[in-house]
Amino acid sequence: MIDVDDLIALVRNYNPRSDPALIRAAYAYGQRMHEGQTRHSGEPYFTHPVSVAAILTEMRLDDATIATALLHDTVEDTRSTHDEIVAMFGSEIAGLVDGVTKLTNLQLSSSEAKQAENFRKLLIAMSRDLRVILVKLADRLHNMRTIKSMRPDKQGQKARETMEIYAPLAGRMGMQWMRDELEDLSFRVLNPEARNSIIRRFLTLQREAGDVVHKISADIRAELESAGIEADVYGRAKKPYSVWRKMREKELAFSRLSDIYGFRVICDEVPDCYRILGLIHQRWRAVPGRFKDYISQPKSNGYRSIHTTVSGRDGKRVEVQIRTRAMHEVAEAGVAAHWAYRDGERVANPFAVDPARLISTLTEQVDAGGHHDEFLEQVKLEMYSDQVFCFTPKGDVVQLPRGATPLDFAYAIHTRIGDSCVSARVDGIRVPLWTRLRNGQSVEIITAEGQRPQTTWIDLVVTGRAKAAIRRSLREEDRARFVRLGQELARVAFEHVGRKATDKALATAATRLGVADRKELLARLGSAEITARQVVAALYPDLAAADVEEVDARRPVVGLPDAEAFRRAECCQPLPGERIVGITYRGIGVVAHAIDCLALEEFEEKPERWIDLRWHDGRHSPAYTVALKVTISNDAGVLGRICTLIGEQGANISDLRFADRKPDYYRLIIEVDLRDLAHMHAVMTALEADSDVAELARHRDMQRKP
């Protein structure tokens, strides 16, 4: 563990005016609070906060952030209190510690509705002080570096959360080095075989071709020296996960991949960047379509660099990035460069992005309403997207995600322009609204009075802003019609069970279903987002259950072609109540997959095999097997009690097997026959309430064939 003097020395290397007394006090307090606590590895727990602080010193952050790192788990895991932190270290550090504590409690890998709400809280915390997320990212990085000491199931959960949330968030904030490491550490857990395979292939390639990185770096240096340009040249093979992602996206074997090597040329001044670009293009043939100038058109996170791909030595494609030293600092530190210190002063880096501007691109729609799935979709698009740069007729630059269309462009300018868009001209040529825009194109939007968004537009746009605006407009336009239709549906449904759909009854149902008010409930009822049976069941569950028709087990889905055989996919085991899609298989018939099943990826380019299916309304028989993964205490009578709990919920256990046996716990895969999604939730709720159930999750085996 780094001792306090070494930590202070790390800080003073870049900030001689640092306050060593503050760091020493935070170190001593944290060490005292965590005394006696240990990590999963058996090390003293305080090694973790110290390591997080050390990671933040690499970003040259201020004393308050370093102290926060040392204290970030005290309120959560020790007897320390917020008031005590305020009294000892001031309100700024106490506020940062409180922010990190709240982020630690967010379960970003939970259910979709909960995840959306927690996403909102994460973004709100970021908007108040972005240093909170910097500490949290460093915390996650150290946890991933030491993840091997955790239980395998916890490793998988943390790795998925890191891959889906924290790694792209680090990338969106410009901290590419951290994104690369987080992705690689997650990849090591989630798919170790693939990672090891890529590393082996790199070693084989190096044996066959020699040290390609060293040779090409020497070639670039020779060109620079002959032109009298001073610059540093760095080369490396790309990270295993980066190679794996490219192999999957382009559906290429490793041997067919190009530009698996990357090189950086770092110089002093901007004019030198373009001189170096000219030298490289003179010496090697440029690959068409692989040039990006992020110096003249920076990314929204402040990233600036010139990217070009050339056919280097022996015809191997290599990517070369050219930037100045100031740009390189921002490329490495991202938004953290805003707080970076050097020689006791905040670094006035001209390329460091204003944190408020960065966070506004992520939080723009937080208060715009909409459903949780829409919010999640928008935020994830903002985090994951690469960018293209297009121009208005006046020459203003509009930044959009790759794959954006003229509709995205129109909504990026103003919602009113997007809503009234009828056509577009790209580089002076009239094009359809589904055209994918490319870097450098000039786009002119043509509008018409009276035009309104169409339902099909949802599938044409890729930005969260455009999707949210279109859905909002469609809802507003149809709201009055849906409210009237919902009122009639509610009246008929309530009369069917001998009740009246009074305003009070509907308001109560809205509250129980988590809907804002009575009118919103009616609008959703009229638009088929909520069924009349759900509304009745919210108030009169017994009456609703008695009124439900039994579904024919032989034809449980709607949309199945006549005489076509049907079965559920073994990989995702969809249940009535879940959104499904049918895929046709020769010799099998139609196989229903859950809409989020990973197996659907292989059919993305085969639309002719997709069939639109939905489950029949009504009460299904308990004939749908679902696997549950349960971790229970290894004590007498626990397994029997678990089986009894399942039986009490009207579910039958069709199979049970042990996935892992330890002295203190068992991990089981229990296959249960269920009616629908609600039935599964009832079973899982009963199990989760048992104190001897440590973990419970739905088990999906993607290796099982349909």
Domain ranges of the chain: 4-189, 194-346, 471-547, 557-615, 624-698
Least confidently predicted of 103-107, 284-288, 552-556 = 103-107
Greater confidence (208 vs 160) lies with 160
Distance of CA 63 to the CA centre of its chain: 30
Strands laid side by side in the 285-293 sheet: 232-237, 261-267, 317-324, 306-311, 285-293
What's the mean pLDDT in 129-137? 85
Contact 233, 224 (CB under 8 A): yes
pLDDT tens digits, one per residue of 455-509: 788 888 888 788 888 888 877 776 777 788 888 888 888 887 788 889 888 999 8
Tens-digit pLDDT profile for residues 505-563: 899 988 888 888 888 888 888 776 788 888 888 888 766 655 555 676 677 888 888 76
Q: Tokens 């999906």 sit at which residue? A: 700
What pLDDT is attached to residue 428?
Answer: 86
- Tell me, what's the pLDDT at 42? 85
Lowest-confidence segment of 386-390, 444-448, 577-581, 619-623 by average pLDDT: 386-390
Whether the per-residue pLDDT at 158 is higher than 90: the answer is: no
Q: Where are the beta strands (DSSP E) in 174-283?
A: 232-237, 261-267
Q: What is the mean pLDDT of residues 424-453?
A: 87
What pLDDT was estimated at residue 601?
83
**Does residue 126 surpass a pLDDT of 70?**
no
Q: Which CATH number fits domain 4-189: 1.10.10.410, 3.30.950.10, 3.40.710.10, 1.10.3210.10?
A: 1.10.3210.10
- Check: CB of residue 190 under 8 Å from CB of residue 139: no
First-last CA distance in the chain: 51
User: Domain 194-346 - what CATH class?
Assistant: alpha beta
- Res 367: pLDDT: 45
Q: Which residues contact 446 (CB under 8 A, 6 or more apart)?
A: 421, 422, 423, 424, 425
pLDDT classification of 401: cutoffs 50, 70, 90? confident
Instruction: For residues 161-175, give the mean pLDDT.
Output: 80
In sequence order, what E strands does 354-415 have? 387-391, 397-401
Higher pLDDT, 407 or 402: 407
> SS3 of 516, please?
coil
Assess whether pLDDT exceeds 80 at residue 315.
no
Q: Do 4-189 and 624-698 agree at the fold level? A: no
Given a cut of 50, whether residue 111 has pLDDT beyond it is no
Count of other CB atoms within 10 angstroms of residue 31: 17
Give the CATH architecture of domain 624-698.
Answer: 2-Layer Sandwich (3.30)
**To 10 degrees, what angle do helices 192-209 and 212-227 make?**
60
**pLDDT at res. 75:** 86
pLDDT on residue 106:
58
Mean pLDDT of 581-587: 86
State the chain's mean pLDDT as an integer.
81
Quick one: which of 290, 281, 276 has its CA closest to 319? 290
pLDDT digits (tens, 9 = 90+) for 72-98: 889 888 888 889 999 999 999 998 888
CA distances from 671 to 591, 623, 630 (A): 20, 12, 11
pLDDT exceeds cutoff 90 at 326:
no
User: What is the mean pLDDT of the segment spanning 341-362?
Assistant: 60
Amino acid found at 578: E
- Mean per-residue pLDDT for 391-409? 83
Residue 608 in this model has a pLDDT that exceeds 50: yes
Region 190-200: mean pLDDT is: 83
Provide the pLDDT for residue 119. Answer: 59
Cβ atoms 1, 39 nearer than 8 A: no
In this prediction, residue 120 has a pLDDT band, given cuts at 50, 70 and 90, of low
What pLDDT shows up at residue 21? 94
Quote the CA–CA distance of 696 and 678 in Å, as a whole number. 16
Q: Tokens in use for 475?
A: 């809802």
Q: Place 364 in a pLDDT band, splitting at 50, 70 and 90.
A: low
Q: Are strands 566-568 and 589-594 parallel, antiparallel or unpaired?
A: parallel
What pLDDT does residue 417 have? 92
Structure-block tokens of residue 158 = 């943390």
Q: How confident is the model at residue 370 (pLDDT cuts 50, 70, 90)?
A: very low
State the average pLDDT over residues 380-408: 73
| pLDDT at residue number 76 | 83
Query: Would you state the pLDDT for residue 574?
Result: 92
Whether the per-residue pLDDT at 193 is higher than 90: the answer is no
Q: Mean pLDDT over residues 427-448, rounded?
A: 87
Q: Which residue has the higher pLDDT, 537 or 114?
A: 537
Residue 440 is given by DSSP the state T
- Res. 5 pLDDT band, cuts 50 70 90: very high
Q: Closest Cα partner for 517 from 502, 507, 505?
A: 507
Name the catalytic one among 19, 43, 77, 92. 77
Rounded to 5 degrees, φ, ψ at 308 are: -145, 150
Instruction: Judge whether residue 341 has pLDDT over 70.
Output: no
How much helix, strand and coil, in percent to the nearest 5, is found in the chain?
50, 20, 30
430-435 contacts: CB < 8 A, separation 24 or more? 431/406, 433/405, 433/406, 433/407, 433/457, 433/460, 434/405, 434/460, 435/405, 435/406
Please determine, for residue 107, whether its predicted confidence score (pLDDT) is greater than 80. Answer: no
Cα 344 to Cα 12, 132, 524, distances in angstroms: 8, 22, 58
Better-scored residue on pLDDT, 203 or 277: 277
pLDDT at 366: 45
Q: 28 or 586, which is more confident?
A: 28
Question: Quick one: residue 450, left, alpha or beta (phi over 0 = left, psi -120 to 50 = alpha)?
Answer: left
pLDDT of 704 over the 80 cut: no
Residue 605 bears catalytic tag: no
- pLDDT of the residue at 142: 93
- In the chain, the percentage of residues whose pLDDT exceeds 90 is 20
Helix axes 372-384 and 355-363, enclosed angle (nearest 10): 140
Who wins on pLDDT, 528 or 108? 528
Residues 6+ apart with CB under 8 A from 511: none
Among candidate residues 3, 6, 35, 76, the one labeled active-site is 76
Q: Assess whether 181 carries a catalytic annotation.
A: no
Residue 276 has pLDDT above 90, yes or no: yes
- Go through the chain and tell me how many residues it has: 706
- Predicted local distance difference test score (pLDDT) of residue 450: 81
pLDDT higher than threshold 50 for residue 110 = no
Are 376 and 596 in contact, with CB atoms under 8 Å apart? no
Q: Report pLDDT for 131.
A: 83
Q: For residue 590, give the 3-state DSSP assignment.
A: strand
Residue 571 scores a pLDDT above 80: yes
Q: Are 578 and 680 in contact (CB under 8 A)?
A: no
pLDDT band of residue 384 (cuts 50, 70, 90) is: very low
Rounded to 5 degrees, what are φ and ψ at 258? Answer: -110, 175
Residue with structure tokens 């002080």?
129
